[in-house]
Amino acid sequence: MRSNLFVAGLATIFASMATAHTVLTTVFVNGVNQGDGTCIRMSKNPDRATFPIEGINNANMACGLEGATPVAFTCPAPAGSTLTFAFREWADEPTKGAGPIDPSHVGSIAIYLKQVPNIATTSPSGGGWFKIYADGYDSSTKQWSAKKLIADKGLLSFSLPSGLPTGYYLARSEIIAIHDISGSGPQFFVNCAQLFISGSTTGTVSIPSDKSVSIPGHVKSSDPGLTYNIYESNPDTKPYTVVGPAPFRPGGAGPSTTAKQTDGVIPSTCILKNANWCAREVPDFSNENECWKASDDCWAQLDKCYTSAPPSGSRGCKVWQEKKCDKIVDSCRSGDWKGPRNKGQKVGSESESSAPVPGRIPGVGVSPGVEEPGVVVPEPVEGGDEYGNGGGEGDNNGEEEGEEEEENLPAPTTRGAVVVPPVPTTLVTRPVTTEASAPVTTTPANGGGKKKGCKNYRRRAGRN
């Protein structure tokens, strides 16, 4: 057992030693944290997960490195809801380095969707993609999208079009950095989240032909958005154009209650989650021998937790060990052979299994030129002054007493035609240092800086 933990620890250290760019780690639905890595396709290789895609005709342009590999869970999201994507420069530490991305990385941020008949097997590359959000340079605030993302601690909010038909979708984030176009070229950072969107209609989304694209193939290296020289041009006088098609945002009635997700559902027997791994209850025990068997079961699950943990971290595994396996070992040793205790109840709280949310969930970004006919765009999801951390599956009956947390459920609010449901927020008062599962390393906080990261990328790209 110890050896596996040791290996997991090493992986974290290596993750911290690699230079980093940016990666999508976490999705929030109407302000509720779905958990680090949950529903997100990211490379399992901590050394590469934050790296740009090599070549704009690479199939990985669709969902990133290892982006054709499905993850076990698909997050439910109503049409018209607000999604927030969290990006990190260091996959398991949201506050390390510049937070989401080095400030040198100016360019654009876009979100695309693709409806898929089968969330596990439909190839992300190919046709059917449409853009729902884009931000490049905002001349009113004189801010590049990357700077805005840094100011918002890596949290980007956008709304799902309300007229999407019920179904499974890949939501693709595309961050393009153009700070080094004469060197390494534009850098594309791409990941996908697996969503089940509930709408008011069924069937296939009907995308106007000029707004439907194939990925790869949706951009050319000669596109103005990929050749724009930020050192020679001023975006206030020479506007920067985000690459790709114009956004398509079908309006409609929003979610219906009849939509039923069947694939990628987080099982009800799940008593703790880390990314796309779930713990289930250990077998009953009523004597010493059975107690140790239950202990073995717990530690075997812990092994799987660590081996399945993506670069976004293994905090949930640590919680599973400390709040379940260690306690079973204690009872086996002390002769308390009746169990498991708190059978079937959640272990720890949702927020403990993810990195602390580094900032307040921002409101929905206003994307210039994006229109959604007849639809009220939800305003920022608010929950008082706290960060939108935690909540999860909304079932916190497994929380242990003495947890230093407060629940705060604001009343539902109505804004225009849109009823914004209360967002569970959790104020974490515990010092961050006791939460962190990553070993402390001596790597400089910013990993040696921006240019080093990009040079390192060039060197690696040349070798591979």
Closest contact distance (angstroms) between CB of 454 and Cu ion is 5
Residue closer to Cu ion by CB (options 11, 23) is 23
Report the alpha-carbon distance of residue 464 to residue 462 in Å, rounded: 6
Residue closer to Cu ion by CB (options 121, 231) is 231
Return the residues of window 270-299 that contact Cu ion according to CB under 5 A. none
Report the alpha-carbon distance of residue 25 to residue 204 in Å, rounded: 28
For residue 76, what are the β-bridge partners? 196
Closest contact distance (angstroms) between CB of 198 and Cu ion is 36
Closest contact distance (angstroms) between CB of 89 and Cu ion is 9
* Interface segment toward Cu ion; rule CB under 5 A; list 20-28, 125-133, 288-296, 369-377: 20-28
Alpha helices in 158-246 (DSSP H): 224-227
Closest contact distance (angstroms) between CB of 152 and Cu ion is 19
* Interface segment toward Cu ion; rule CB under 5 A; list 21-29, 219-227, 363-371, 374-382: 21-29
Residue closer to Cu ion by CB (options 177, 291) is 177
Element spanning 463, H or E = helix 450-463
Residue closer to Cu ion by CB (options 21, 273) is 21
Tell me which residue has its CB nearest to Cu ion: 21
Tokens of 62: 């669709």
Residue closer to Cu ion by CB (options 266, 454) is 454
Closest contact distance (angstroms) between CB of 43 and Cu ion is 15
For residue 389, the 8-state DSSP code is: -
Residue closer to Cu ion by CB (options 43, 389) is 43
Pairing outcome for strands 187-198 and 75-78: parallel
DSSP 3-state assignment of 415? strand
Q: Cα dist. 443→15, 97, 99, 103, 158 in Å?
A: 11, 11, 15, 19, 34
Closest contact distance (angstroms) between CB of 181 and Cu ion is 12
Report the alpha-carbon distance of residue 144 to residue 154 in Å, rounded: 14
Which amino acid is residue 428, in one-letter code? V
Report the alpha-carbon distance of residue 426 to residue 387 in Å, rounded: 7
Residue closer to Cu ion by CB (options 275, 454) is 454
| Residues 113-152 as x/- pattern, contact with Cu ion by CB under 5 A | ----------------------------------------
Closest contact distance (angstroms) between CB of 190 and Cu ion is 13
Closest contact distance (angstroms) between CB of 187 and Cu ion is 5
Residue closer to Cu ion by CB (options 146, 259) is 146
For residue 324, the 8-state DSSP code is: I
Residue 419 CB partners (closer than 8 Å, separation 6+): 412, 413
Residue closer to Cu ion by CB (options 357, 454) is 454
Residue closer to Cu ion by CB (options 21, 48) is 21
Residue closer to Cu ion by CB (options 21, 172) is 21
Nearest to 89 by CA among 458, 460, 445: 445
* Interface segment toward Cu ion; rule CB under 5 A; list 15-23, 279-287, 296-304, 422-430: 15-23
Residue closer to Cu ion by CB (options 86, 423) is 86
Size of the site for Cu ion (CB under 5 A): 2
* Phi, psi values for residue 75, rounded to 5°: -85, 130
Closest contact distance (angstroms) between CB of 225 and Cu ion is 17
Q: What is the dihedral of CA 435, 74, 361, 394, to 10 degrees?
A: -70
| Residues 403-442 as x/- pattern, contact with Cu ion by CB under 5 A | ----------------------------------------
* Interface segment toward Cu ion; rule CB under 5 A; list 16-24, 117-125, 208-216, 336-344: 16-24
Tokens of 424: 């569970």
Q: State the distance between the two ends of the chain, measured CA to CA, in whole angstroms.
A: 35
Nearest to 155 by CA among 450, 376, 453, 380: 380
Closest contact distance (angstroms) between CB of 52 and Cu ion is 6
Tokens of 335: 């002769």
Closest contact distance (angstroms) between CB of 109 and Cu ion is 14
Alpha helices in 228-338 (DSSP H): 288-308, 315-320, 326-334
Using an 8 Å Cβ cutoff, are 391 and 426 in contact? yes
Instruction: Determine if 21 is a binding residue for Cu ion (CB under 5 A).
Output: yes
DSSP 3-state assignment of 7? helix
For residue 168, what are the β-bridge partners? 116, 196
Tokens of 111: 């979100």
Return the residues of window 47-106 that contact Cu ion according to CB under 5 A. none
Return the residues of window 439-458 that contact Cu ion according to CB under 5 A. 454
Return the residues of window 330-359 that contact Cu ion according to CB under 5 A. none
Closest contact distance (angstroms) between CB of 240 and Cu ion is 18
Q: By CB under 5 A, name the binding residues for Cu ion.
A: 21, 454
